[in-house]
Amino acid sequence: MRCCNVDFCLSVCLSVCLSVCLSVCLSVCLPACLPACLPACLPACLPACLPACLSVCMSVCLSVCLSVCLTQVDARNIDGSTPLCDACAAGSLECVKLLIQHGATVNPPLFTFSPLHEACMGGNSDCVQLMIDVGALMEAHDCHFGTPLHVACARQHFDCAKVLLNAGANVNAAKLHETALHHAAKVKNVDLIELLIEFGGNIYARDNLGKKPINYTSQGSPTNICLEFYENTPLSLQQISRIALRTALGRRALDDVSKLGLPNRITCYLSYQPPPDLDLDFDYF
């Protein structure tokens, strides 16, 4: 993000930050410093004071810069990343919220790495959820990985993959016929494989080389045994029904399921949530 007046922007940032630092220091340090002399308290105060100052100042600096350079909120660096992409990659939830408030583009042009891709790449599940909540496209493809789900599985970020799937991401979306399940098999992650299959991942899908996910595992390895089990054991009617219903509802699934008036245990099952305590689940009886 290039400012039209760098000196002015920096001077304003520093001025505001000094004021904020003083305020934070007084509120954090003063109560601890008064009972004893300053030299004795300073080593104890700094560890508490500095993180608080830095956290507040980062948000303040960004806010000031955005007010001065508002038209540059979607400026791209040499790698093509926007400030929102960088904030998602860093997992800075407050910066992400601030950029969105100032009009940052959530969905960039097709076949470019989106902020949602960056959040998945960095393993920042809170940012993933926030981007989905503000309308990020879960099926957006970039030219290297594919969808955000592909990225989450390739980087073995289980929590990010679960957030995407719970929100209705297409578990069988493919890039060159390669699905997220292929990525999970390649990185030898059994937990991801089981998660994807639970959400309807196709274990028989073949990529552009004609290979199924199991073909990327070693004979007798945990991932091989896992995939072989699912190839030889069909999903139950209960599992198939859940997948069919959620596929039909898409990204509305979580909201719509809760409005169907079903018993709590069924609602939890359809939402991939742990079952409630039977003693408290009065709707079940």
State how far the Cα of 194 lies from the Cα of 118, in Å rounded to an integer.
24
Q: At what angle do helices 93-101 and 83-90 cross, to 10 degrees?
A: 160
Residue 26 phi, psi (nearest 5): -65, -40
State how far the Cα of 239 lies from the Cα of 91, in Å rounded to an integer.
34
Run of H or E residues at 39: helix 38-68
In this prediction, residue 62 carries a pLDDT of 54
Looking at the whole model, is its pTM more than 0.85?
A: no
Alpha-carbon 112 to chain mean position: 17
CA 93 to each of CA 58, 90, 167: distance values in angstroms, whole numbers, following the listed order: 12, 9, 19
Phi-psi region of 10 (alpha: psi -120 to 50; beta: other; left: phi over 0): alpha
Residue 111 phi, psi (nearest 5): 65, 25
Alpha-carbon 65 to chain mean position: 25
Among the listed residues 247, 249, 248, 245, the one whose alpha carbon sits nearest the alpha carbon of residue 269: 245
In this prediction, residue 278 carries a pLDDT of 63
In this prediction, residue 160 carries a pLDDT of 98
Name the stretches of the chain with pLDDT < 50.
1-26, 28-30, 32-38, 41-42, 45, 54, 66, 68, 70, 279, 281-285
In this prediction, residue 1 carries a pLDDT of 41
In this prediction, residue 75 carries a pLDDT of 86
pLDDT, tens only, 123-133? 999 999 999 99
State how far the Cα of 53 lies from the Cα of 246, in Å rounded to an integer.
45
Locate 15 and state its tokens.
């001025």
Fill in the amino acid letter for 89. A
